[in-house]
Amino acid sequence: MGSNMAEAHPVGFQHVVEAKRRGAKVIHIDPRFTRTSALAHTYVPVRAGADIAFLGGVINYILSDEKDFREYVLAYTNASMLVNEGFKDTEDLDGLFSGYDPETNTYDQSTWQYASHEEHGRSTGNSHVARDTASALRHESHGSPLPGGDVARDLTLQDSRCVYQILKRHYSRYTPEVVEQVCGVPQDTFLEVCEAWTANSGRERTTALVYSVGWTQHTVGVQYIRTGAIIQLLLGNVGRPGGGVMALRGHASIQGSTDIPTLFNLLPGYLPMPHHRQHETFRQWVDAIRHPGQKGFWANAEAYAVSLLKAYFGGAATAENDWGYGWLPRLTGDHGTYQQALDMIDGKIKGYFLLGQNPAVGSAHGRAQRLGMANLDWLVVRDLYMIESATFWKDGPEVATGEVVPTECRTEVFFMPAASHVEKEGTFTQTQRMLQWREQAVEPPGDCRSELWFFYHLGRLVRDRLAGSAAPRDQGILNLNWDYPVHGERGDEPSAEAVLKEINGYDSATGEPLPGYLSLKDDGTTACGCWIYSGVYADGVNQAARRKPGSEQDWVALEWGWVWPADRRTLYNRASADPDGRPWSERKRYVWWDPEAGEWTGYDVPDFEKTKPPTYRPPEGATGVAAISGDDPFIMQGDGKGWLYAPGGLIDGPMPTHYEPAESPVRNPLYHQQANPTRKVYDRPDNPINPSPPDRHVDVYPYVFTTSRLTEHHTAGGMSRHLAYLSELQPEMFVEVSPELAAERGLEHLGWAHVVTTRTAIEARVMVTDRLTPLRIEDRIVHQIWLPYHWGGEGLVTGDSANDLFGIALDPNVLIQESKVGTCDIRPGRRPTGPELLAYVDEYRVRAGVAPDRYPHVLTPRADKPEA
Amino acid sequence: MAGPNSLYGPVDPAPDAGYVDAPPRVGFFTDTSVCIGCKACEVACKEWNLIPDDGFNLLGTSYDNTGGLTANSWRHVAFIEQPTAGRGAGTDSPGAFAAMPVGPPASAQTAVVAAGTAPDTGTEPGVPPAVDALAAAGTIAPPATGPQFLGMPLPDLPGRMMDAPRSDFRWLMMSNVCKHCTHAACLDVCPTGSLFRTEFGTVVVQEDICNGCGYCIPACPYGVIDRREGDGRAWKCTMCYDRIGDGLTPACAKACPTESIQFGELDELRARAERRLESLHEQGETSARLYGNSPDDGVGGDGAFFLLLDEPEVYGLPPDPVVCTRDLPAMWKRAGWAALAMAAAVVVSFGRRP
């Protein structure tokens, strides 16, 4: 669901095909019939942007008939925990939870907490800061913080304040009828999915859930995934073999680039980037991570933080100078990629590095991206080919419309040719958190060089320039531990293995590699570049380079590559055994307690303290790791439990709720509140948003559109549109429409059509296909269209870019853009060109009532004052 | 070593061609039931064999922009969008589009447009009558006027065009390739010896010998072999002769992520295919069938055979291919009798003279 795995992840899909061969049932739920649907047993068409309604219906099905895996739910989830009396649900407040502040459009989350945590009332004014800094991204490796102390529970699950009952009430309206009305899924098809999912879960069987950016890229993206996780927890499908919620990452090492992040708000291992006000001192920063008094492994965060600073600053980091904490940069607010683009337009950003990224094609609202980049002092682009983000100033769409004049564009562009993955050594961290080492196969041609080479030498040269500077701002760079051995044919390539060793961590005194993150210290005696990767170079051996064939080891294949943390292949695998430590069933044996040996054992590395027995109960007042019971599998959570209900940590609510996308032709059938009331918006004239109900003129953009990839191309096309063998397979930008929509709009197969939003209009060839179907939403027909987003102006095959159609509206938790659903119009024929295009789009805006001073309401207004 | 079946009938082609101690015959088993249409086979083939690209043409035949097997495309993934009326075949499922507000299918119309966009085949494609009926009903825009339909592959069999709303749907994908026939007509008609039988039982063109005469092209019952424009020579799949000789798997099979393309010893592949077919039948895929696996068919069995989910015609494959040498003995026999008869007539006519 939310994934076109066969097309976007064809290599990983071999495992689905193999599972199918062995008798697994495959269900694909997607707005259009794709190559994944072609291989599935059951395909379910769904409206883009309505997945929470669908999944909420599944939750309602499970809870109404008590089809949950009750022993698992009672022992391992927070189902029995009691929630604050002041908590009000969206059922009570018509689409809002208690604590909503219409000034900042965020929640005071104090009423969401567990009953016994009331006195810890969460600070109230910081939710919008958390949103600006996408703080929920930290939860990729651990749960949200909780106050210490035991939580009141009702193991009978009857108390009306317990999570189980709250969940049941919250989803009671998500009936099959509602699912049909909201998602367009016929009731018997929906029930077929519910029955298959529940029947294939429990002691003897597990079901895996796969998603990709079809779920992520929404203004409620995080809550989409939460809904899936709730179902999997209710059915006992987490921490067990064949279960899980599998996020398929979008590129070869995109998991790696969040673990060791290229994100503005994170440091390696999901440590938060310090905020100038919240984390003024080292102590404030560390305590904000470890939360003194809290349960779980995150309590050791000081050792991870100190070791990171020791890796950065080496001998210059001492206890006296707080390990160089003062040299770290500070966040002052939202520095996310979309805020940055807008800041460039406003002239607040002078320079920009682009590496392996092509925002002129690949980011939402391409026009804003290009106008921003056209207003820089300098821009460095490192890529394999001359991509659109390097050439927008001379032949981009804005040059055609006259908005950018090449002779006057002030941006100085430096293009640096990059080495491809076969031309450099290093690791890929794939979707399973597995690091796999890659050897260099050939020397890069000409001036092409690796990123490692670029940054190492750039850092070296900058440090040379700054040498002797006494300015406080330069001390961080001057004190960097910037010493890597070089090798290779040219003699100037930094050793990637030396970097991996630094990431693994080493003894500060001897330089010996550390065996794992448990040996990290907070006294400066260890250095570690990324605590979750610690162990990848254990025993001085590159564990990521292990390549023992699957045929020579058991099915978990521990000797292939290395998986963070601590080489565990399945996270929270303590849950694969029952509370007493015995496998739930012989068939699903994975990790279990061996009473004779007095330790956890199994096929995988146990994700639990090796010798802590299932009978262990923490003493009164215990904190940290010692507070984790012998039957608490979710050791990175503040309470050791899987969260059906999130008492904190999410900006937009403790439970997922169906909101319509920021742009939708449909009025939210479930609540008065139309769209996510906490979504991040940028109300600016250069970011117009199409009207949605209850506002008027929705019919100007009557169709739902969604975008995604084709197997034949790679994202923004930089790696495929320049290659003849790939370009010939999908040579032209096209738009897929159903025969019904084609008839309605007079579109001809292989003829031209153009798609219009408030941002722009793009053209494409028409593919009329039976793979798209209109949907019946409430009492009307809703048409969906689909576009691939691979094309741009450079390369062997060129075309308009689908991402130009989107505006900027973001999920509040992680600041991901809503680029999987929007509204549009589609018309036969090519779009106007030149300045006439602007006039054409403007004419649509006028008809839609979109004006520079008028933006959609974040909080749906109560009074019946529809916009004129 | 010409034997009784050298021109027709079951035979092991390498020993028949004179190889002594030939290795076991190898082949491809292409299981289309697990093909995901990724086209990795097409790309891997071109990368390894250094084949030129085939031009950047949007064909409109579903996701197939290759169009067919040509001199420049030795693997070709066919995509067939196949709407059906009625419930999901062989399953309890009500069908992908059951109860959806859908109208008549687009597939017939798109096929008509597509038929006019494929690379020039030398034959003029046209319009199937069923589409005219749809257009007359006013449900879809009438296709541009064009020539009459002459048998281009359509996503559905003639006479099976549905007129009811679609309720179920299949998207069939198949990676097509040279069949490496047991009785390879291309080889038999080649006057230069450029086409030859390898010790593995496969059929390969030697590019340095081919003189571009083109006899092989009409001889192939599958329409596989083709001449390259501007070059004139005939090109086709070699089953990576340069790889298998070194014990490597052919590029396409190596690149296939789902093991839709399987390479190996032909006898083993045939047994494997039978087991797979049985398993699919047990799962209710009653339309699954093998194609080209039988040594008793018109080409003596294919070295590259297929598991299909529908009639071969649906995939653009001939239902009953026959090697053009089948009738050679009979023809020679007849020619012999004719010659004898002529001779006898001559003798008789001269013998009458006193």
How far does B50 lie from chain A, in Å, by closest CA?
A: 10
State the complex-level ipTM. 0.93
Q: Which residues of A touch B53 (CB under 8 A)?
A: 724-725, 727-728
- Distance between B200 CA and the closest CA of chain A, angstroms: 28
The amino acid at residue A536 is V
Please work out, in degrees rounded to the nearest 5, the angle formed at the alpha carbon of residue A285 by the alpha carbons of A281 and A291: 130
DSSP state, residue B144:
P
Give A752's contacts (C-beta < 8 A, 6+ positions apart): A763, A764, A765, A766, A828, A829, A830
Q: Which residue has the higher pLDDT, B30 or B89?
A: B30
Give per-residue pLDDT as tens, A533-560. 999 999 999 999 999 999 999 999 999 9
Residue B152 confidence (pLDDT) = 47
Pull the structure tokens for residue B125.
Answer: 């494609």
User: What's residue A385's pLDDT?
Assistant: 95
The beta-carbon neighbor of B96 closest among A14, A43, A740 is A43
Please, which residues bridge with residue B291 across strands?
B306
Mutual angle of helices B107-115 and B129-136, in 10-degree steps:
130
The neighbour count for residue A846, using CB atoms within 10 Å, is 11
Is the pLDDT confidence value at A183 over 80?
Answer: yes
Would you say residue A708 has pLDDT above 70?
yes
Strands A434-438 and A426-429: antiparallel
B257–A781: do the CB atoms touch at under 8 Å?
no
- Which secondary-structure segment (H or E) carries B81? strand B75-84
Structure-model confidence comparison of residues A149 and A697, the more confident one: A697
Residues in chain B: 354
Of A618 and B93, more confident: A618
- Residue B108: which pLDDT band, with cuts at 50, 70 and 90? confident
| pLDDT value of residue B130 | 39
**Mean local confidence (pLDDT), A226-251:** 96
Structure tokens at A692: 């949605």
Q: Which chain B residue has its CA at the smallest distance from A738's CA?
A: B106
Q: Percent of chain B beyond pLDDT 90?
A: 65
Residue B147 has pLDDT above 60, yes or no: no
pLDDT tier at B106 (50, 70, 90 boundaries)? confident
Which residue type is seen at B246? D
pLDDT at A867: 45
Beta strand segments in A119-254, E: 209-211, 245-247
* Integer Cα distance of A738 and A772 in angstroms: 5
Are the beta carbons of A678 and A812 closer than 8 angstroms? yes
> CB–CB of A288/A272 below 8 Å?
yes
Q: Which positions ≥6 away from B197 have C-beta within 8 Å?
A: B13, B14, B17, B184, B187, B203
pLDDT in tens, A309-341: 999 999 999 999 999 999 999 999 999 999 999
Nearest to A39 among B36, B60, B62 (CB): B36
Q: Do B101 and A739 touch (CB under 8 A)?
A: no
Decide if A743 touches B, using CB distance below 8 A: yes
The predicted-structure confidence for A45-54, as pLDDT tens digits, reads as follows 999 999 999 9
Q: Do A17 and B139 touch (CB under 8 A)?
A: no
Sign of dihedral through CA atoms B293, B299, B302, B303? Answer: positive
pLDDT in tens, B170-214: 999 999 999 999 999 999 999 999 999 999 999 999 999 999 999
Q: What pLDDT does residue A125 have?
A: 54
Q: Residue B353's pLDDT band (boundaries 50, 70, 90)?
A: low
CA distance B261 to B276: 13
pLDDT category of residue A135 using cuts at 50, 70 and 90? confident
The nearest CA of chain B is from the CA of A259 a distance in Å of: 28
**In percent, how much of chain A has pLDDT > 90?**
90
Question: Residue B95 above 90 pLDDT?
Answer: no
Chain A, 177 to 196: residues with Cβ < 8 Å from chain B are 184, 186, 188-189, 192
B residues 54..73 contacting A (CB < 8 A): 54-58, 60, 62-63, 65-66
Q: Tell me, yes or no, if B113 comes closer than 8 A to chain A by beta carbon.
A: yes
Beta bridge partners of B308: B289
What pairing do the DSSP bridges indicate for beta strands B304-308 and B289-291? antiparallel
> Chain-wide mean pLDDT for chain A?
94
Each residue of A770-820: pLDDT tens digit? Answer: 999 999 998 899 999 999 999 999 999 999 999 999 999 999 999 999 999
